[in-house]
């Protein structure tokens, strides 16, 4: 399993925190392991040295009291007279006889063969082993000129208990160190990434249209160049967008005069339409349609340019929303559109700009007429502190992949071929989104609620005053 792709999916802050936590865990585990190892070694060596000194002293006493005539009772008396540490069990071999203080705990069967071999070669030795599952140290020394050897077993239960307690302590310290390292990593990553968070927030502001967004110069010299570059980029972007907006606005204004002349000329020609032959009338109809479409395009461009340069404003007033919608529909391209109003939405007062709101409704109805088939339905409903205006058609609907781009400028979508002769400008829905946003509302498109084919455009407008 490859961990790297999964690790890279984590955020930079999470990765830094994990790095600090892993470093703290590695360091604390190393220290804990070293502490346990050194402590164990030191305790065992100390215990072995102590045991060896005691066994050596006891061996001298045994050697001094051994005689060829001594019997088993005398050997037992010698064992009982020895001074041993707590948890020590002596064992004496004299010839072929073995004498122990407690044969149930330590007897001749418990002496490791390797230790017997060492002692048989007239050398002292110490071996760590287990006696009935308990850790112990067995020390043996030869007794010269006596054909004897003295052994002593010392259990290490107290050392193991001490090491277990120490292991729990260092494990707890290691866990606490890991948590502390992770906390330090989180704090350090937060401090380190705060400037990047400011850059992200500034970039989001730029993307939202706040072109005057700039970063404050930081005290850190390493980040000063990043801030300067970002501010320079934001300034260049603002200048470019403003130049483009002014260009579109100026071009649109310049086109109004020749368009007025064209419209006047077309009107004169239409007034004398009866004097033209059939071919000329067809040409006049095409010219009239194109001039109207061109006029709508210029008007839409002028309206959008006001948003781009920031000069768009609302002439807000209180309106009876349901009555306003009916009146606006009666002056639209589809005055026969059905209006369905819920009980909650009746007599609802909304603060809005009549002209812009009427254009929203007209554009949505025109869009439904161009893309849909059959009847268009407008419904009004009230949800919490907002009112919903929905326009439904019987067309093919809007694919899910296009629902986020359909409100972009000059976006026609995959159903653009259904428009027939009137191809439109591709700015209608973009203007709807701008008008609705200026009112503090939002717009989206979804499938029809009744399950039939078609699109449902929903406008949500808040009640009360509008923050311009």
Long-range contacts of 384-389 (CB under 8 A, 24+ apart): 385/462, 385/463, 385/464, 386/441, 386/460, 386/461, 386/462, 386/463, 387/321, 387/345, 387/348, 387/350, 387/460, 387/461, 387/463, 388/458, 388/459, 388/460, 389/325, 389/361, 389/458, 389/459, 389/461
Q: Determine the pLDDT at residue 458.
A: 93
> Residue 391: which pLDDT band, with cuts at 50, 70 and 90?
very high
Same domain for 272 and 129:
no
> Residue 468: which pLDDT band, with cuts at 50, 70 and 90?
very low
Same domain for 405 and 435:
yes
Same domain for 156 and 285:
no
Q: Determine the pLDDT at residue 26.
A: 86
Q: Determine the pLDDT at residue 195.
A: 72
127: pLDDT strictly greater than 70 = yes
Q: Determine the pLDDT at residue 460.
A: 92
Q: What pLDDT, in 10s, does the model give residues 131-143?
A: 888 888 888 888 8
Three-state SS for 413? coil
Burial environment of residue 44 by CB neighbours within 10 A (0 to 12, 13 to 18, 19 or more): middle
Using CA atoms, how far apart are residues 15 and 3, in angstroms rounded to an integer? 13
Q: Determine the pLDDT at residue 457.
A: 92
Q: What pLDDT, in 10s, does the model give residues 396-416?
A: 888 888 888 888 877 766 555
81: pLDDT strictly greater than 70 = yes
Examine residue 372 and state whether it is found in any structural domain, yes or no. yes
Given 308, 329, 358, which residue is the final one in a domain? 308
Using CA atoms, how far apart are residues 281 and 274, in angstroms rounded to an integer? 9
Examine residue 237 and state whether it is found in any structural domain, yes or no. yes
Mean pLDDT of 137-163: 85
Q: Determine the pLDDT at residue 421.
A: 46
Same domain for 97 and 53:
yes
36: pLDDT strictly greater than 80 = yes
Same domain for 369 and 253:
no
Q: What pLDDT, in 10s, does the model give residues 221-268?
A: 767 777 888 888 888 887 877 776 676 666 666 777 787 888 888 888
Q: What pLDDT, in 10s, does the model give residues 285-318?
A: 888 888 888 777 777 777 777 766 666 777 888 9
88: pLDDT strictly greater than 70 = yes
Same domain for 66 and 43:
yes
437: pLDDT strictly greater than 60 = yes
How many domains would you assign to the chain?
3
Mean pLDDT of 67-96: 80
Same domain for 246 and 144:
no
The number of angstroms, rounded, from the C-alpha of 10 to the middle of its chain's C-alpha atoms is: 7
Same domain for 125 and 230:
no
Given 253, 283, 308, which residue is the final one in a domain? 308
Same domain for 150 and 9:
yes
pLDDT > 70 fraction of the chain, expressed in percent and rounded: 88
| Least confident stretch, 81-85, 160-164, 171-175, 453-457 | 81-85
The bridge status of strand 455-462 relative to strand 386-392 is: antiparallel
Q: Determine the pLDDT at residue 419.
A: 42
CB-CB neighbours of 211 under 10 Å: 18
Q: Determine the pLDDT at residue 375.
A: 82
Provide the CATH number for the domain around residue 390. Answer: 3.30.565.10
Given 287, 308, 329, which residue is the final one in a domain? 308
Same domain for 346 and 302:
no
Provide the CATH number for the domain around residue 266. Answer: 1.10.287.130
Instruction: Look up the domain containing 388 and give its range.
Output: 316-462
Q: Please name every residue paired with 445 in a beta bridge, in sequence order, or none if there are none.
A: 457
Examine residue 375 and state whether it is found in any structural domain, yes or no. yes
Q: Pick the residue with more confidence: 2 or 40?
A: 40
């Amino acid at each position: 399993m490859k961990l790297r792709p999964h690790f890279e999916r984590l955020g930079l802050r999470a990765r830094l925190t994990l790095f600090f936590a892993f470093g703290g865990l590695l360091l604390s585990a190393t220290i804990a392991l070293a502490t346990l190892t050194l402590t164990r070694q030191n305790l065992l060596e100390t215990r072995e040295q102590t045991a060896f000194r005691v066994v050596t002293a006891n061996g001298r006493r045994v050697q001094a009291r051994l005689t060829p005539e001594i019997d088993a009772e005398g050997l037992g008396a010698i064992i009982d007279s020895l001074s041993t540490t707590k948890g020590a069990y002596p064992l004496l071999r004299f010839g072929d006889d073995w004498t122990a203080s407690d044969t149930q705990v330590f007897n001749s069967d418990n002496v490791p063969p390797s230790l017997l071999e060492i002692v048989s070669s007239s050398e002292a030795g110490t071996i760590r082993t287990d006696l009935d599952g308990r850790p112990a140290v067995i020390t043996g020394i030869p007794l010269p000129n006596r054909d004897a050897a003295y052994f002593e077993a010392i259990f290490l239960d107290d050392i193991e208990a001490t090491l277990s307690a120490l292991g729990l302590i260092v494990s707890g310290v290691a866990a606490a160190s890991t948590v502390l390292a992770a906390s330090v990593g989180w704090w350090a990553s937060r401090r380190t990434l705060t400037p990047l968070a400011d850059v992200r927030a500034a970039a989001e502001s730029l993307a939202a249209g706040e072109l005057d967004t700039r970063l404050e110069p930081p005290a850190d010299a390493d980040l000063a160049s990043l801030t300067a570059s970002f501010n320079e980029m934001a300034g260049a972007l603002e200048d470019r967008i403003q130049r483009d907006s002014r260009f579109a606005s100026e071009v649109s204004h310049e086109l109004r005069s020749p368009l007025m002349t064209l419209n006047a000329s077309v009107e004169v020609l239409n007034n004398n339409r009866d004097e033209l032959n059939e071919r000329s009338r067809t040409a006049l109809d095409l010219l009239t349609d194109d001039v109207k479409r061109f006029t709508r395009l210029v008007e839409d461009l002028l309206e959008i340019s006001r948003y781009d340069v920031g000069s768009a404003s609302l002439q807000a007033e209180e309106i009876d929303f349901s009555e306003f919608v009916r009146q606006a529909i009666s002056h639209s391209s589809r005055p026969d559109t059905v209006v369905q109003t819920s009980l909650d939405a009746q007599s609802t007062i909304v603060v809005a700009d009549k002209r812009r709101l009427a254009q929203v409704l007209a554009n949505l109805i025109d869009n439904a007429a161009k893309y849909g088939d059959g009847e268009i339905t407008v419904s009004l409903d009230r949800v919490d502190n907002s009112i919903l205006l929905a326009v439904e058609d019987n067309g093919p609907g809007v694919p899910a992949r296009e629902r986020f781009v359909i409100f972009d400028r000059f976006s026609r979508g995959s159903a653009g071929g259904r428009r027939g002769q009137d191809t439109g400008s591709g700015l209608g829905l973009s203007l709807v989104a701008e008008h609705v946003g200026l009112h503090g509302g939002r717009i989206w498109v979804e499938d029809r609620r009744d399950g039939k084919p078609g699109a449902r455009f929903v406008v949500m407008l808040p009640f009360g005053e509008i923050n311009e």
